[in-house]
A and B are shown apart, each in its own frame.
Chain A
Amino acid sequence: MPDITRESSRRSPLSIDDPGLAERIRAGDRAAIEVVVKAYLSHILRAARGAGLDETQAEDVTQETFATFIEKAPSFHGRAHVRTWLFGIFYKKVLEFRREASRSQQHDDIDEIVEQRFSSDGSWLRPPRAVDTDVYHGEIREWLRECLDTVPMRQRLAFVLREAEGFSSQEICNILDVTRTNLGAMLHRCRNRLRECLEARGIRGSRDARL
């Protein structure tokens, strides 16, 4: 484990995009490690909540992610962006907490549900309901939290990294160690599961006609 308390005050101020950052992280430079912690602490904590961890678990995962990051700093070669590397560590920590199989799921019930919405010629059999802006921007947030709890963790994390963190598909593939085809299937399943869940709530709720 590198000594991150090493003095580095004589070096120039660093930013997260500094080209020399990787080298300084590798050297266990405290200033470089501080830059990474300050830049990504809130992102990791949010992503942990987004992955469905409760507050205590989210804080634990965040702390352990950065502890491992600091411990493994000497092996960071800068081939990937530090953010990708950090989120890769984070993903492994989340898996430890959720103890969910990291292999891709071959079968998922949502595939059949989606299939049933289309006729044999590929056109909609049960078309989506029109989006009501008020509903989608109001209740949807509360409903979405609940609906996300029905989504398997890996799909959920792929979706959160995509929509909330704005990662590119390639970055998410690197973080979750999946192929682009796998990622597409995960996003497809997650979004359709959320859509079905939200539509079902809309049908049962008071705003039936409007969702």
Chain B
Amino acid sequence: MLDCKEVAGILASDGLEEAAWTRRLAVRFHLMMCRHCRRYAAQLRAIGVAASRIFGPRGKTGDPDVLRRLERTILGKQPDGRGE
């Protein structure tokens, strides 16, 4: 039987990703029984969602002009789209 510290460690390190089904089941069972670990898991999820909203594709990409300017610089294009 996994204790809270082990479950918290597995969740925070994404340790379930490659875990055997028996371990996944053990974590799931623990979460069903333990409201503190459910809160911990909910906190981690909330932090992940907030991070993806700040820095993910749905977040602010920045001024489209910045991206256009960078793209032109990187590809060595003139503003009118011609190559240098």
Using a CB–CB cutoff of 8 Å, the interface residues on chain A facing chain B are: 4-5, 30, 33-34, 37-38, 41-43, 45-47, 49-50, 59, 62-63, 66-67, 70, 114, 118, 121-124, 127-131, 133, 136-137, 140-141, 144-145, 159-160, 162-166, 168-169, 180, 183-185, 187-188, 191-192, 194-195, 198
Contact = CB atoms under 8 A, between A and B. Distances in A.
B46 interface: yes
B47 A59 contact: no
Interface of B: 3-6, 8-9, 12-15, 17-18, 36-37, 39-40, 42-44, 46-57, 59, 61-62, 66-67, 70-71, 73-76, 83-84
A81 B58 CA distance: 23
B61 A162 contact: no
A123 to B, nearest CB: 5
Given A41-B67, A160-B55, A194-B47, 16 more contacts: A5-B76, A37-B75, A41-B74, A45-B61, A46-B59, A118-B5, A123-B4, A124-B37, A128-B40, A131-B39, A131-B42, A159-B51, A163-B48, A163-B56, A187-B14, A195-B47
Contacts of B55: 46-47, 49-50, 160, 163-164
14 contacts: A5-B76, A30-B75, A37-B75, A41-B67, A124-B36, A127-B36, A129-B39, A129-B43, A136-B43, A137-B49, A159-B51, A163-B55, A164-B56, A166-B56
Contacts of A159: 51
Give me the 8 closest cross-chain CB pairs, A-B, nearest first: A122-B3, A184-B13, A164-B55, A127-B36, A50-B55, A164-B56, A136-B46, A122-B5
